[in-house]
């Protein structure tokens, strides 16, 4: 199977290349942001036509949530119309597609995990642009997997875990919000689940590590597991912390949709421990 990957140098893109690249069934054609501007429809068409993939994994996105508020045009160009161009090009060559979406398409008013049947109601420009991307992909291409995930971190690039470790090294107190609940997700685990999803029925899936916590609890766990004093991190409300974009207070995703397909995710604490230990990649 020939697989084209966009956003190949991002956190998820790197792990997809490691996980899928170790399987001889797959031939990968990765494109970084520099190599393929997904907002240029002509370039997207040219790339997809030249490769003629069987599957496109669309991991490219504009994920700077606060920046999206002041760069609305860019947010929709990348997250919505870029995805639309990729889906149209995929359809033209007869390829299926995986579109990576987000927990931010929900408003956070639920008190129990969001299922694939729950109605989206995004609060931010980022969430709105990703939801429009979902809908445009589904409009164009029936052979697609919409994969919603949350709170990503990986070995490559910057993320919350690395930021917490950097702050902990300074041995000074710092603040993390304690009124947003979600499921931290290791990009390696997400990549493995996406690999397992290939060949299953097309549709909408929620994929994250299991369990849930606040950003504050997540930060405490990071420090504790890494051998730092968890008391260095102090709780603060989102309002007092101050952010530009509105976030869902609760965005835990139910993994029932993938469990029906026989795909299991480990608990976020187990994944975090392995991330900190720089667990070797397992190719099964």
pLDDT in tens, 157-214: 889 999 999 999 998 999 999 999 999 999 999 999 999 999 999 999 999 999 999 9
Domain count, the chain: 1
Residue 92 has pLDDT above 90, yes or no: yes
CA 35 from chain centre, in angstroms, equals: 21
Find the helix packing angle between 268-276 and 160-169, rounded to 10°. 60
pLDDT value at position 282?
53
For residue 235, is it within any domain? Answer: no
Mean pLDDT across the stretch 57-75?
Answer: 95
Q: Which of 114, 126, 205, 228 is catalytic?
A: 126
For residue 122, is it within any domain? Answer: yes
For residue 207, is it within any domain? Answer: yes
For residue 123, is it within any domain? Answer: yes
For residue 29, is it within any domain? Answer: yes
For residue 193, is it within any domain? Answer: yes
Structure tokens at 121: 């109601």
Task: Tell me the pLDDT band of 142, cut-offs 50, 70 and 90.
Answer: very high
* Residue 123: other Cβ atoms inside 10 A: 18
pLDDT value at position 153?
96
Single pTM value for the model: 0.94
- Asked about 126 being catalytic, the answer comes back as yes
CB 281 within 8 A of CB 22: yes
CA distance from start to end of the chain: 17
For residue 278, is it within any domain? Answer: no
The CATH number given to whatever domain includes residue 120 is: 3.40.50.720
Structure tokens at 42: 């002509």
For residue 165, is it within any domain? Answer: no
Q: What's the domain range around 92?
A: 2-158+183-212+251-267
* Residue 50: other Cβ atoms inside 10 A: 11
Interacting residues of 227 by C-beta distance below 8 A, sequence separation 6+: none
């Amino acid at each position: 199977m020939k697989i084209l990957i966009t956003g190949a140098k991002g956190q998820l893109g790197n792990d997809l290349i490691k996980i899928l690249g170790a399987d001889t069934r797959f031939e990968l054609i990765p494109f970084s942001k520099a190599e393929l501007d997904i907002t240029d429809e002509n370039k997207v068409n040219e790339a997809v036509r030249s490769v003629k993939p069987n599957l496109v994994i669309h991991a490219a996105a504009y994920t700077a949530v606060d920046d999206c508020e002041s760069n609305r045009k860019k947010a929709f160009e990348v997250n919505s119309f870029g995805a639309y161009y990729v889906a149209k090009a995929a359809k033209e060559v007869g390829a299926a597609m995986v579109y990576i979406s987000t927990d931010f398409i929900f408003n956070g008013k639920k008190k129990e995990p969001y299922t694939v049947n729950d109605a989206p109601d995004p609060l931010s420009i980022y969430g709105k642009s990703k939801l429009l991307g979902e809908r445009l992909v589904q409009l164009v291409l029936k052979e697609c997997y919409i994969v919603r995930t949350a709170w990503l971190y990986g070995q490559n690039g910057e993320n919350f875990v690395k930021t917490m470790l950097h702050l902990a090294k300074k041995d000074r107190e710092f603040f993390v919000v304690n009124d947003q609940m979600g499921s931290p997700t290791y990009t390696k685990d997400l990549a493995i689940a996406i690999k397992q999803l290939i060949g299953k029925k097309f549709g909408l899936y929620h994929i994250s590590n299991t369990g849930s916590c606040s950003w504050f609890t997540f930060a405490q766990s990071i420090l504790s597991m890494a051998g730092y004093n968890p008391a260095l991190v102090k709780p603060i409300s989102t309002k007092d912390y101050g952010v530009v974009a509105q976030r869902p207070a609760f965005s835990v995703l139910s993994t029932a949709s993938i469990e029906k397909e026989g795909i299991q995710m480990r608990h976020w604490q187990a994944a975090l421990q392995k991330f900190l230990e720089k667990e070797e990649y397992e190719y099964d």
